[in-house]
Every structure is written in C-alpha cells, then in structure tokens.
C-alpha cells in the first residue's frame, strides 16, 4: 500500500492535464494503460465527426448558393467567404446581434459568478439557520424547466413595456442554482476556515472577508464557472426568441430569422452560422482546457 | 461571545484603534475568530449583526431572482392554464376551468407531440450515452495529447442550437446535401429527410447527439478517473481481461453517474425545442409540414406565440412539468431497486 501511496501523487501530476488545483483524489494511476493504435484510430474518427460539420460550414460559407445545390457538395473552400460574411452580417443584422449577445452573456456571466460565489461561500463556510434546507431547495430548483415560467414572464415584461429590451433576457438568468452549488463544493475544499477566522480576528467584517479572502480563494472556480455560464448564455434560445424580436435580436434570434426563410441564400446562411459560432470557437481555442476541466469538476462533485 | 475577557485586557480598543494591532497570540488561544471588542460596544453589536445577517444577504440574490423569475411565474402558469388568455387580447382573461387541459387531451396534435418527444428522446439519448461511455473509456487510457482530444470532443458543445441546426439542415438537404451524397456510395437512394416521418426525427436526433456526446463523455471520464485503482488491480489478479474489467468494474462503479446523465438527458429531451424549430424551416413551429417532428416544447411555442393561445400554452407547460415529475419518480424507484439488489 505504501508504494501506491508514494507513487500516486506523481501519477496525478502526469494525468491531471487540465490543471485543476486542490484535487486530492488519486486519478486511477495504476490502471491507466497506454492507448493502443486502435484507440487512436477510433478517437480520430470521433474527433473528425466532431469537427467536420464546423469545417464544412466554413467551406459552404465560402461558396455560392448555386454550387451548394449541386451534387457533389463542396469539399474544399471557394472564393466567396468574405462576400457571404458581409451579406450575412448585413442581412441578418449580425452586428447588432453580436453587440446584444455580448451585453446579455457578459452581464449574465458577471451576475452568475458573483452571486454564486457569495451564496456558495455562505453555504460552504457560514453557519445559519435553515442552511441545509435552503441548500436542498437551491439544488431542487434545477429540476424546474424554463418553459414553466415563459408565459407569465412574457405577459409581465409586456406590461412593463420591456418586450424587446435586453434586460428582459438578462434578469431571469442572472443567478444559477448550478453555479451556487458548484461554488459551494469548490469553496468547501479550497478555502481553509482558518483563513476566514484570521481575517475575523483582524476585525474584518463580512464584506472585507469576501473581498480579501473568499474572492481570491475562489478565483480559479470563478473563471471556470464564468466560461461555462458565458457559453450557456450565448447559446440560450427559447426565452430570447420569445422575448426579443428582430429589432433587438441576440445572435441566436438573428440566426433563427436567417433559418426560417427570409433569406434563401444557403451560402449566406452558412456564413451567418459561422459568424454566430466564431466567438465561442475562439474562446474554446483559448480556454478549452479550463472549460473541459470545469465540466469534469462539476460532474464529479455534482 | 467569549471576547469579554480579552476585551477587558485591552480596554484601549476603541472605534479608531486599528483592530489589526491585536496580538497574534489571541488567535491561538481563542480558537474561533472573535474580535476583541467590548460586547456592549457599537462595534461589537455591528459585528454580531454582521455575523447573523450576512449569510442571508449572500444567499438573498439567488432566492430573490429565482423567486421572482422562476417560482412565482411557475404558479402563475398554473393560474393562466385555467384561463382563456389570448395573445391578441391580453386584458380579457376569463376563467376556463380545465377546458385548456381537456382541449389538450382531445387534440391529436398533443398526442402526436408527446409521441414525437418520446421517440426523438429515445433515439437521441440512448446512442448518445452509449457512445459517450465508449469515448470516455478510450479517453481514460494514457493518451498522447489527452487535453487536445478532450477539447476536440467538446467543440460541438460550443456550437449553438441555431448554428448547428442550420448546418445540419443543409447537410441533410434532399438534393446536393452531404448526407444523401455519402449514402449513394453505399447504394441508398436519396432520402427526403425534412419531409419524411422518421427521417426528420432521425435528423433532429442526430443534431442532439452531435452536440452532447462529447459533453457526456467528459462527465463519464471524470467518474472513471475517480474509480479506485485497487479494484482494477484485484480484478486483474482474478484474471479479468480489459473487457471484463470494463464490464464488471467500470460500469458498476459508473452506475450513479449513468443515472445522473440519464436524468439530465431526459429533462433535456422533454424540453427539446430549438433543433426541430430550425430544422423545419418555414414550417418550423409546426415541426415540419405534417408535424412529423413537433415536440412538446415546440407545440407549446406554436400554440402560444404562433396561434396566440397563451392559456393553452400554459397548460402544455404544466403537462410537461407533470411528465417530468413522473419520470423523476420512476427514476427514483429504479434507483431504489438497484440499490436493494446490490
């Protein structure tokens, strides 16, 4: 037993490629057999299936409508990419849509991260009446589907004169039960209670504790939650489509309008799909590792 | 508060004295962090109030926002489902009793949507989770560039429903579409995916599968990496090969995670909306020209915002919720059974 205990941490640093701090679990070091050629072949097939539709979108977006209707479908790039991107940008109003989506997803991300960290800290480290029950309630809310709120929200937002305004989309999504639970699980381990006590002894009030102790300790998890929230908020579909119209669309609403037929040009539609996905694809190139780590971390602990 | 002794030892502590000047030794002696003020002072009363109130202040944003935009609407949806609410005349809401529900249960489109939701849910969830377990198992080997593989598998997750569906719609188009072109190599005649009954359902499911397989694979991978090594070692000592280890160690240890993903995917499938909406193109909210892939989510949207019957849309929403609750209850039963049998 001693030998496995001694070798385990080494193996952990080798296998934990996603750089998560504070994981004490031994990552099944001994059983990790080296992958054989068959594994690589099968994984390559799946990787191609994952990437091919996106690469092909770029090819289709660089062609013209007539070419796309012919068989065989284009298997390489044409010369119309920038023309189509420009057309999609103008015809679908993607400029406004990008700005709107950035505002919506950005605000939701900041709100979710801050509120989740505060609530997660309270549930992880503070003692108060009914905390167990309230935590259970928080987790329970994840079961409620968003469809259930849509009709009244639509009616109220119309009453307030808020239809087609961005706050209509932002407000209902500003907090997250998953985020709260995610931060709680992280802070349970990552924030030593002694640190809070030390700050208390120094006379810090709760806000100072949050600012000087909790936020710094939570930073890695806040970053991951932020990325996950941004992806989700950027891709949200149901409520934005009901709440917003074509004057103030998010990217998804604009893409929906492209798809439901008032532009018959398939190459332009593909250019629009490409543009709508591009910001997240870039985020994925930059932060893919962290997003992967966040999903795996959330999965283990959730 | 136990600070009285200490506060007496430091009577000089006043509002303007820096609290940080307390001797560090106080920490060790005191154990729990209590500041050194006189319990009656304004400062320590503030402190106690802060200790009591701040947890509630920290969790308040979640409960206020969720209450206002989640829980209260949930109840109002029930209320509206018992009324006649039309998009065209929002001020005229009249009591309708259970009419919306009766109307729903006697509508062939409701049953059609329910059936579609079920079939699309099954043919999208089952292959998706099976493939995800397989991929996770492969990713769990020691791989060169393991992070790159994981990121690549997750890329579809970054693609929105709208973008993915637009692309797949073109891939599935009848003439000149990539899928039909590939099928002709294996001797299959072109399939009219959009118009045919099962073709549309298959196409819609494939979009779901494409977007979520990698995500589920990562969840399984996380669970696989948490399985203790000794289990595999003792299985290997007993002469179990790789496949037997997978069947008799990995799968049983994954059972809670599998149940978790089944629940999450079921919830997702019940709410399926964006994929059939966009795949249908102009007849999107109908779920295709003959309602071939109109799901419950889509049916609700169609009744509410296309036809304009918000009362009925509310009834559909609550029916969906009840179905989810039934599924959750069945799940709970299965989990209990599994636990007992173990």
- Residues in chain A closer than 8 A to B151 (CB atoms): 284, 288-289, 291-292
Say what the ipTM of the complex is: 0.84
CA B10 vs. chain centroid, Å, equals 55
End-to-end CA distance of chain B: 50
Token pair in block for residue A48 = 């191609």
> For the stretch A123-137, what's the b/e string if a residue is b when 16 or more beta carbons lie within 10 angstroms of its beta carbon?
bbbbebeebeebbee
Q: What is the pLDDT of residue A261?
A: 65
Surface of A (242-271) touching B: CB under 8 A: 242, 251-252, 255-256, 258-261, 266, 269-270
CA distance B287 to B280: 6
What is the pLDDT confidence band of residue B332, given thresholds at 50, 70 and 90?
confident
- For residue B145, what is the nearest residue in chain A, using CA coordinates? A17
What is the pLDDT confidence band of residue B16, given thresholds at 50, 70 and 90?
very low
Q: What is the pLDDT of residue B35?
A: 54
**Are A30 and A10 within 8 A, CB to CB?**
no
Number of Cβ pairs < 8 A linking chain A and chain B: 357
Q: What would the pLDDT profile of B270-312 be if each residue is shown by its tens digit?
A: 889 999 999 988 777 888 888 999 999 999 999 999 999 999 9
- Domain boundaries, given as residue ranges, for chain B: 109-341
- Residues in chain B closer than 8 A to A146 (CB atoms): 271
Tell me whether residues B228 and A26 touch, CB distance under 8 A.
yes
Question: Minimal Cα–Cα distance from A197 to chain B, Å?
Answer: 5
Handedness of CA B274, B280, B286, B292 (dihedral sign): negative
φ and ψ at B105, to 5 degrees? -70, -20
- Residues B184-207: what's their mean pLDDT? 91
Contacts 24+ apart (CB under 8 A), B60-67: B61/A115, B61/A118, B61/A119, B61/A174, B61/A175, B62/A115, B62/A116, B62/A119, B62/A138, B62/A175, B62/A177, B62/A180, B63/A134, B65/A115, B65/A171, B65/A172, B65/A174, B65/A175, B66/A141, B66/A175, B66/A177
Residue written as tokens 């950005």? A106
In this prediction, the residues of chain A whose per-residue pLDDT falls under 70 are 1-32, 261-263, 299-302
Residue B22 has pLDDT above 70, yes or no: no
Residue written as tokens 């952990």? A12
Q: Which among A36, A71, A210 has CB closest to B181?
A: A71
Among the residue ranges A4-18, A237-251, B19-33, B164-178, the one predicted with the least confidence is A4-18
Q: What is the pLDDT of residue A27?
A: 42
More confident of the two residues B334 and A245: B334
pLDDT above 70 coverage of chain B, percent:
88
Q: What is the pLDDT of residue B210?
A: 97
Q: What would the pLDDT profile of B66-102 be if each residue is shown by its tens digit?
A: 999 999 999 999 999 999 999 887 777 889 889 999 9
Tell me whether residues A172 and B65 touch, CB distance under 8 A.
yes
Q: What would the pLDDT profile of B105-135 be if each residue is shown by its tens digit?
A: 999 999 999 999 999 999 999 999 999 999 9
Kindly give, in sequence order, each residue whose CB lies less than 8 Å from that of residue A163, ignoring residues fewer than 6 positions away: A154, A157, A243, A245
Q: What is the pLDDT of residue A136?
A: 93
pTM: 0.85
- Residues B162-185: what's their mean pLDDT? 90
Q: What's the mean pLDDT when you consider all of chain B?
A: 85
Question: Minimal Cα–Cα distance from A19 to chain B, Å?
Answer: 10
CATH of domain B109-341: 1.10.3720.10
């Amino acid at each position: 037993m001693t030998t496995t205990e001694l070798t385990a941490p080494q193996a952990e640093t080798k296998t934990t490629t996603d750089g998560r701090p504070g994981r004490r679990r031994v990552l099944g070091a001994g059983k990790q057999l080296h992958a054989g050629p068959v594994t690589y072949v099968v994984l390559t097939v799946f990787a191609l299936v994952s990437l091919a539709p996106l690469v092909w979108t770029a090819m289709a977006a660089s062609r013209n409508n007539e070419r796309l209707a012919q068989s065989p479908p284009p298997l390489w790039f044409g010369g119309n990419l920038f023309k189509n991107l420009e057309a999609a940008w103008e015809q679908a109003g993607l400029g406004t849509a990008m700005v709107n989506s950035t505002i919506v997803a950005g605000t939701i991300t900041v709100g979710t991260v801050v509120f989740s960290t505060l609530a997660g800290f309270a549930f992880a480290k503070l003692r108060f009446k009914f905390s167990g029950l309230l935590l259970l309630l928080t987790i329970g809310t994840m079961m409620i589907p968003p469809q259930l709120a849509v009709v009244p929200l639509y009616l109220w937002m119309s009453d307030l004169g808020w239809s087609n305004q961005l706050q209509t989309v932002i407000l209902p999504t500003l907090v997250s039960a998953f985020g709260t639970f995610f931060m709680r699980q992280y802070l349970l381990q990552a924030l030593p209670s002694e640190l809070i006590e030390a700050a208390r002894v120094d006379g810090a009030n709760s806000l100072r504790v949050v600012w000087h102790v909790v936020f710094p300790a939570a930073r890695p998890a806040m970053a991951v939650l932020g990325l996950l929230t941004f992806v989700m908020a950027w891709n949200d579909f149901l409520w934005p489509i009901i709440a917003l119209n074509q004057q103030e669309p998010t990217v998804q609403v604009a893409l929906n309008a492209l798809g439901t037929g008032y532009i018959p040009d398939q190459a332009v539609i593909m250019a629009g799909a490409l543009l709508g996905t591009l910001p997240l694809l870039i985020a994925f190139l930059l932060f893919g590792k962290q997003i992967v780590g966040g999903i795996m971390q959330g999965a283990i602990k959730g | 508060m136990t600070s009285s002794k200490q506060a007496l030892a430091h009577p000089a502590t006043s509002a303007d004295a820096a609290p940080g000047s307390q001797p560090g030794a106080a920490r060790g002696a005191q154990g729990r962090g209590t500041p050194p003020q006189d319990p009656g002072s304004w400062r320590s009363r503030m402190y106690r109030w802060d200790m009591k109130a701040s947890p509630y202040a920290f969790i308040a944003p979640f409960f206020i926002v969720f209450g206002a935009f989640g829980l209260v609407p949930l109840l109002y949806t029930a209320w509206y489902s018992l009324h006649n609410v039309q998009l065209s005349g929002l001020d005229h809401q009249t009591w309708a009793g259970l009419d919306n529900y009766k109307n729903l249960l006697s509508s062939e489109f409701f049953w059609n949507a329910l059936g579609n939701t079920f079939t699309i849910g099954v043919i999208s969830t089952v292959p998706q989770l099976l493939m995800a377990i397989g991929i996770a198992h492969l990713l769990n080997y020691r791989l060169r560039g393991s992070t790159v593989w994981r990121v690549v598998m997750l890329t579809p997750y970054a693609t929105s429903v709208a973008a993915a569906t637009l692309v797949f719609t073109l891939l599935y188009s009848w003439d000149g579409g990539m899928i039909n072109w590939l099928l002709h190599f294996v001797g299959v005649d072109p399939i009219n995916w959009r118009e045919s009954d099962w073709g549309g359902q298959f196409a819609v499911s494939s979009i779901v599968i494409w977007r979520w397989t990698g995500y589920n694979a990562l969840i399984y991978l996380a669970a696989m990496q948490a399985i203790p090594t000794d289990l595999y070692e003792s299985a290997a000592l007993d002469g179990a090969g790789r496949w037997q280890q997978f069947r008799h160690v990995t799968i049983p240890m994954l059972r809670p995670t599998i149940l978790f993903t089944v629940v999450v995917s079921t919830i997702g499938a019940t709410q399926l909306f964006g994929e059939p909406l966009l795949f249908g193109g102009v007849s999107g909210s109908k779920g295709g020209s003959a309602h071939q892939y109109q799901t419950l989510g889509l049916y609700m949207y169609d009744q509410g915002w296309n036809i304009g019957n918000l009362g009925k849309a509310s009834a559909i929403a609550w029916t969906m919720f009840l179905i989810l609750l039934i599924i959750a209850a069945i799940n709970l039963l299965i989990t209990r059974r599994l636990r007992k049998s173990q």
